[in-house]
Structure formats: structure tokens, C-alpha cells
């Protein structure tokens, strides 16, 4: 009989026969025990799907990876601590000193910062290109091009890129193509089916859906590339929490319903916002005037609930003060959660290829799952406050 101290430390095995659950079990592990010394010594022979150490996955993390892989129509998915980490890991794994990476001018600003600071330090050239000009991209591609990055729609300003055309060009030059698909998710766009080699998702947003987890994913369509990325992430010591994966799996179950509602309400709000005299234009791929709209209609299955508003020169200076009148929309970054968000975004400093036309401030809105009526009233409240602030400014 073991002592009480030993009994406290050892967990008894219980039968799972006859038990089933619709929820995914949370398997937390650093150490994974082996049956015997031989199994431990030959653990690397288990392959990329085998279990050897918690950093490389548990049944919980593998369940999320498998679910994402099937949605993306890919070969393998790997998880990272954030969407930004997914992008930087993909670039660091695939690029080396002397290589060139092509990045759209409308890319998520932290990616630009990473390229300008860290890739440059490693001797990797980041060349920025107009996201809607294939000919300009071709001219920018040098003989050292190894990766073309795509973000479609573009961060904040929502330009849609012609991924099939970009992929054809890149592959002809011997470069891989990666795509940030966080706005659309695989429910509305499948980059791997349109020529991309790599697709990255910010699981923080629509997948999780509740603004309480930060995570990213990398999905590829080539097994060798998957192994290369898996080994790189292992060497970097990059892993994710099984508890966080369980939360993303829970959020994923309602993602289609949430996104359908988000898109429907966004379309309704946009219709009202476009009528306001203080609005210069609304940026949203489903609108004909948004750059790349024809590509969106051809390749995408739908829209999400994220769009941006550009204000007239007279109104723009007063937007920040008017945002304090909001009661339902929360002022904050990110998107895709249950709460609607408003984020004033500067644009001009993050453009180097083609200057941004219009006021520097763009208001990005993300629709949550609140009542459509309440959200519409909150938008009206904002515009009433905006007009009041404009009147005050004229009176000074």
C-alpha cells in the first residue's frame, strides 16, 4: 500500500467507457508519461501527429488544429499565441538573410513595424506594394523574392486583393504566398483554395468571439511546409494553452451564427451612416466603391461585421470627442467579439507606397451581437454629439 503522500501525488486511472460529451475535454500537460523506457527513447518516431511533450500539443490543441484545418481546406494547422505571432513566425521560418518579402502597403501596422525593425536587422528586405496593382507588384519583385504577403481586405482601409492573380505571379517567380484572412475567416474566404500556400487567422477575433483569448493559427496545404513550421515553433518554444484552445473551440461553435448577424446588422448601419452629411465615405468590401469590390464579389462568400468610416474635413477633428457619447459601442481595439467596438485609427503614417487621401483619422467599427435597434440608436447618439461638437468649434 502506497503512503498517503504518494497517493496524493498519483492520479488513479478511471474508465471512460460509456462516457461521451459534446464539449471538448481540456487536457493540460507539460510532461507526457511513457509506458516504458523504450517508448521514451523512440518518442521521435511517433511523427508530427504523435505526443511527446506538452509544447507540441495535447488532444485539446489538436482538436482545434484539426477543426481549423478542415475549415481552411488545408493539410495542417499550427497554433500560436496571437495572430501577430502567426505572421512573424511564418516569415521568420521561411526567410533568411538576403531574401525579399513583398508586403501590401495596407498591412496591419504591427507587421510593418516587425518588417522594418526585425526583418531589416536580419538582412531581409521588406518591399511594400500597392495592394490593388498587380503590375506594380510585378515590378517590385526582385530575384530574391521568397514570400508575397497578402492581407485582404487591407487593415482599416479594406482594399480587397486579387489573390489568384498574385499567387500566379508569385509562384511563377518561385515565391510562396501567405494571406492574413482574419477579416473574412474561412467561412467567407478560403485563401488556400485561391492559390495561397499559407493562411493565417487571428483566432482572437471571430473564432474566439468573446474578447477573452489571444491566439493565432497558421494553416498550410503542404505537409513538408507544415513540418518545417512545426519544428521552427518548437525551437522557438512557442505553444498555446489548452484552456485557451477550449475557449476558442467553444466560440467556434457559434461563429457562423454570430458572423451572419454581424454582417446583416453592419449592412443596415452602413446604409444609415452613408446618409449622414458628416461622412465622406464608408469603406467596406460589399460596397461597389470600395477598391477591389469586384474581386470580393467573385471570390468571397460573404462579409464580416467590420467596416471603416471616413469623415469630411469639417467633421473629422471632432470625432474623438463625439465618441464619448457612445453607450453601446465600446471604444477599443480588435473585433469579432460579442460587444460592438469603435476604434479611431490613424492611417497616413502607415502608408509608404501611395499616400492616403482624406483625413488621417478613420473610424473602424465592429458590430457585435447587441440589439440592432440599440446599435442604431447609439450611432444616432454619436452623430448628434458630433454635430454638437462641430457647432461648438464654429462658435469659438
CATH number of 25-249: 3.40.640.10
All CATH 3.40.640.10 domain ranges of the chain, comma separated, are 25-249
Name the E strands within 238-340.
279-283, 306-311, 330-331
Q: List, for residues 239-294, the tens digit of each pLDDT value.
A: 999 999 999 999 999 999 999 999 999 999 999 999 999 999 999 999 999 999 99
Q: What is the mean pLDDT of the chain?
A: 95
Which of 11, 13, 53 minimizes the C-alpha distance to 32? 53
- Whole-angstrom Cα distance, residue 215 to residue 202? 6
pLDDT in tens, 331-366: 999 999 999 999 999 998 899 998 888 788 999 999
* DSSP-derived secondary structure letter, 63: H
Place of cell 492611417: 347
Closest Cα to residue 248, out of 50, 26, 88? 26
CB atoms within 10 A of CB 275: 8
254-395 — its CATH code? 3.90.1150.10
- CA dihedral 51→56→58→59, nearest 10 degrees, is -80
Strand, coil or helix: 354:
coil
Residue 382: which of 312, 307, 305, 329 has the closest Cα? 329
Amino acid at each position: 500500500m502506497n503512503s498517503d503522500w504518494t497517493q496524493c501525488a498519483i492520479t488513479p486511472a478511471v474508465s471512460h467507457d460509456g462516457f461521451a460529451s459534446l464539449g471538448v475535454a481540456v487536457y493540460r500537460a507539460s510532461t507526457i508519461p511513457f509506458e516504458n523506457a523504450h517508448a521514451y527513447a523512440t518518442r521521435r518516431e511517433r511523427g508530427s501527429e504523435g505526443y511527446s511533450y506538452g509544447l507540441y500539443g495535447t488532444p485539446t490543441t489538436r482538436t482545434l488544429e484539426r477543426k481549423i484545418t478542415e475549415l481552411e481546406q488545408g493539410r495542417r494547422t499550427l497554433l500560436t499565441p496571437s495572430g501577430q505571432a502567426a505572421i512573424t513566425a511564418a516569415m521568420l521560418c521561411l526567410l533568411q538573410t538576403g531574401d525579399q518579402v513583398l508586403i501590401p502597403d495596407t498591412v496591419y501596422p504591427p507587421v510593418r513595424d516587425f518588417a522594418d525593425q526585425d526583418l531589416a536587422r536580419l538582412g531581409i528586405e521588406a518591399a511594400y506594394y500597392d495592394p490593388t496593382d498587380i503590375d506594380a507588384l510585378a515590378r517590385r519583385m526582385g530575384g530574391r523574392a521568397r514570400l508575397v504577403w497578402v492581407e485582404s481586405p487591407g487593415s482599416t482601409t479594406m482594399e480587397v486583393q486579387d489573390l489568384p492573380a498574385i499567387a500566379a505571379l508569385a509562384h511563377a517567380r518561385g515565391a510562396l504566398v501567405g494571406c492574413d484572412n482574419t477579416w473574412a475567416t474561412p467561412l467567407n474566404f478560403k485563401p488556400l483554395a485561391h492559390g495561397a500556400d499559407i493562411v493565417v487567422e487571428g483566432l482572437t477575433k471571430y473564432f474566439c468571439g468573446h474578447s477573452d483569448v489571444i491566439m493565432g493559427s497558421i494553416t498550410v496545404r503542404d505537409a513538408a511546409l507544415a513540418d518545417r513550421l512545426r519544428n521552427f515553433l518548437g525551437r522557438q518554444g512557442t505553444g498555446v494553452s489548452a484552456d485557451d484552445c477550449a475557449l476558442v473551440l467553444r466560440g467556434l461553435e457559434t461563429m457562423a451564427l454570430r458572423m451572419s448577424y454581424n454582417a446583416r446588422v453592419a449592412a443596415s448601419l452602413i446604409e444609415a451612416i452613408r446618409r449622414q452629411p458628416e461622412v465622406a465615405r464608408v469603406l467596406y468590401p460589399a460596397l461597389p466603391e470600395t477598391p477591389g469590390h469586384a474581386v470580393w464579389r467573385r471570390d468571397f462568400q460573404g462579409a464580416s461585421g467590420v467596416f471603416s468610416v471616413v469623415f469630411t474635413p469639417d467633421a473629422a477633428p471632432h470625432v474623438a470627442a463625439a465618441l464619448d457619447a457612445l453607450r453601446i459601442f465600446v471604444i477599443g481595439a480588435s473585433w469579432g467579439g460579442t460587444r460592438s467596438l469603435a476604434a479611431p485609427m490613424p492611417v497616413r503614417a502607415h502608408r509608404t507606397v501611395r499616400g492616403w487621401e482624406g483625413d488621417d483619422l478613420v473610424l473602424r467599427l465592429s458590430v457585435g451581437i447587441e440589439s440592432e435597434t440599440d446599435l442604431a440608436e447609439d450611432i444616432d447618439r454619436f452623430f448628434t454629439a458630433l454635430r454638437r461638437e462641430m457647432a461648438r468649434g464654429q462658435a469659438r
